[in-house]
Amino acid sequence: MQNIKLFSLKILLVLILGILITYPTFYFQYKHYDINKFPQDVKKYLSIADNALDQNFVTLRPFRYRLLTPLIVGKLNFIPAYDTKIASKIDTHTQNIFFRFMLVNYIFLLLTFTLYFYFAHYIYNLNIYLSLLGGMFFVFSFACITSC
């Protein structure tokens, strides 16, 4: 029982540490990412999240295989947006969906960081500091920074 409490406490502390370290990047990306300058697939994902279940999945190519996040975002419409001025010139409804996308991506990023720590520390028996460092390398890697 004592080991379970210690394990839970360590995982919770790692999650809190991850939030403290990565929250500025979440805020910066939400506030300063401009959908109109760098549209990529953002507008398509926003429209899928807005009415995912109303669309024909055949017409969503190549997005029909990437529906989990838009479906989750579409179901989280009860979460209010962090109402602040952002760089994107979009209406309030689209800003709410954009915020929920950023929040879902951020939550999954934190969970991945925590799982990385768990595997490195508990499964592969790495030092706690090396496990945290590996998680930080993942969180601040180019792929995570540019896609979250």
**Tell me, what's the pLDDT at 129?**
92
**Tell me, what's the pLDDT at 56?**
63
**Tell me, what's the pLDDT at 54?**
67
The pair of structure tokens assigned to 23 is: 């929250």
**Tell me, what's the pLDDT at 115?**
93
Cα gap 50→8, rounded to integer Å: 37
**Tell me, what's the pLDDT at 119?**
92
Tell me how long the chain is. Answer: 148
**Tell me, what's the pLDDT at 148?**
55
- Reported pTM: 0.83
**Tell me, what's the pLDDT at 147?**
64
- Inter-residue contact 117 to 93 (CB < 8 Å): no
- Residue 132: which of 6, 14, 11 has the closest Cα? 14
Per-residue pLDDT of the chain (148 residues; tens, 9 = 90+): 678 888 889 889 999 999 998 898 888 888 888 888 876 777 778 888 887 666 665 556 676 667 788 888 888 888 877 677 888 888 888 888 888 988 998 999 999 999 999 999 989 999 999 999 998 888 888 777 666 5
